[in-house]
Amino acid sequence: MTAFITFLYYLMVAFFAVCFIWNFRRSKNWQSEVLYLIVLLPFLLRLFRLK
């Protein structure tokens, strides 16, 4: 059960990481672009099991 919940959390992290990348691509405001990338960083570090 614990492993399944962990798996769901990783799916959630992946989903939000894709959302941030998508929004970064669509954005035309440089401040928003920087913000999306800053927020994306911890999501990718967790997804790649680095931090």
Partner 1 sequence: MKNQLIMRKAIFTAAFLLVFIFSGLSFYRSRHLKEPVVAGDGLLEVRKLSHYFPGLKGSLNDASVYILGKGDAGSEGGAALVLGGSHAEEPAGRLAAWLLVENARLEKGRLFVILTANPSASTSTRPGGAYPPDYEIPTPWGRQKFRQGDRWSNPLDQWPDPEVYIHYPSRQQLAYMDIRNQNRTWPGRPDGTMTEKTCYAMTQLIIKEQIDLVIDLHEAELQYPVISTIVAHQKGEDLAALASMMISGEEGFNIGVEYSPVALRGLSHREIGDHTQAIPLLLETPEPFLDATRGRTDRALLLTGKDEFVMKAGRHGLLFEKLDENGWPIDVRVGRHLSSIIQIFKVWTELHPERPIQMENVPRYAEVISAGTGYYLKNPDQAPAGRLFYE
Contact call for residue 18 and partner 1 (CB under 8 A): no
Contact call for residue 32 and partner 1 (CB under 8 A): no
Count of chain residues binding partner 1 (CB under 8 A): 20
Contact 43, 24 (CB under 8 A): no
Contact 31, 44 (CB under 8 A): no
Contact call for residue 47 and partner 1 (CB under 8 A): no
C-alpha span between 25 and 2 (Å, rounded): 35
Residue ranges binding partner 1 (CB under 8 A)? 2, 5-6, 9, 24-25, 28, 30, 33-34, 37, 40-41, 44-46, 48-51
